[in-house]
Amino acid sequence: MTDTKCARHRMRRALVRWIAGCVALVTGAGAGLAEDRTPLGVGDPVPRFSFVDIDEEEGSIGAFDGSVLVLSFGDRDSSEEMKAWMGDARLAVLEAHPEIPTASLAFADVSGVPSWLRGMVRPLLARSNASAEADLAEARQRAGIEPDPARTAFRFIPDWDGAHLEAFGLADASQYHCWIAVDGKVVAVMDPSTPDPARVYIDAFEAIARARPAAPAGP
């Protein structure tokens, strides 16, 4: 690598670190400013709204009717806490119940990022999401799990203005929240106060599997 290329590479890395620092600063500054709200609980209806994901593709919660919904919300730090248990739980469910159609919608609280910084933040979020998905794909491969693309969906959705936070009854995402919903109703909730969130996640799918109609017998 030439000296010029080395210098450009160092400049790009410095810029990425600077942007990441700005994101951490502004997202931290925005936490806790919203009024008190009550997060969705078991039995509550799932809010139905449209969204734009990290790839700038439009979607809606209603588009996934018929699938078990896994809805999650976190910020930069709380998402890492949630990932610590969710990866193994997702693998366990995929292995045990590949027949259950599932849609995972992961919302990220970036409401503290000013509009002028969004163009620089979006690629960082996309890169982080792609890395997480690659890690999960590698874990699936090691476990010998081949999910059916027709039965699994994943969308990563930045919440730029806090509207999605409000829809889920959250003041902020300094603590992660994860909900499992069936037929438009929440059936399980996981957050940092849950003693064993991975077990709650797996048990929820076990209950869903038991409640599903039995497949018709073959000829």
User: Residue 31 pLDDT > 80, yes or no?
Assistant: no
Question: What pLDDT shows up at residue 184?
Answer: 95
What's the Cα-to-Cα distance from 209 to each of 72, 166, 183, rounded to whole Å?
21, 31, 14
Stated pTM of the model: 0.81
**Other Cβ atoms within 10 Å of 21 Cβ, number:** 10
Which among 130, 119, 68 is positioned nearest to 97, based on CA atoms? 68
Identify which has the larger pLDDT, 198 or 19: 198
What's the rounded Cα separation, in Å, for the pair 26 and 148?
39
Is the model's pLDDT at 93 over the cut of 80?
yes
- Residue whose structure tokens are 């799932």: 46
Question: 3-class DSSP state for residue 193?
Answer: coil
Which segments within 113-203 are labelled E, that is strand? 152-159, 177-182, 185-190
Q: For the chain, which domains are there?
A: 3-211 (3.40.30.10)
Which pLDDT score is estimated for 18? 45
pLDDT at residue 4 tops 70: no
When mean pLDDT is compared across 39-48, 103-112, 134-143, 188-197, the lowest value belongs to 134-143
- What whole-number distance in Å separates Cα of residue 51 and Cα of residue 179? 18
The secondary structure of the chain in percent helix, strand, coil, rounded to multiples of 5, reads 45, 20, 35
Which range has highest mean pLDDT (19-23, 150-154, 157-161)? Answer: 157-161
Q: What angle do CA 212, 147, 216 make, to 5 degrees?
A: 30
- Output the CA torsion 86→91→96→97 (10° steps): 80
Amino acid at 139: A
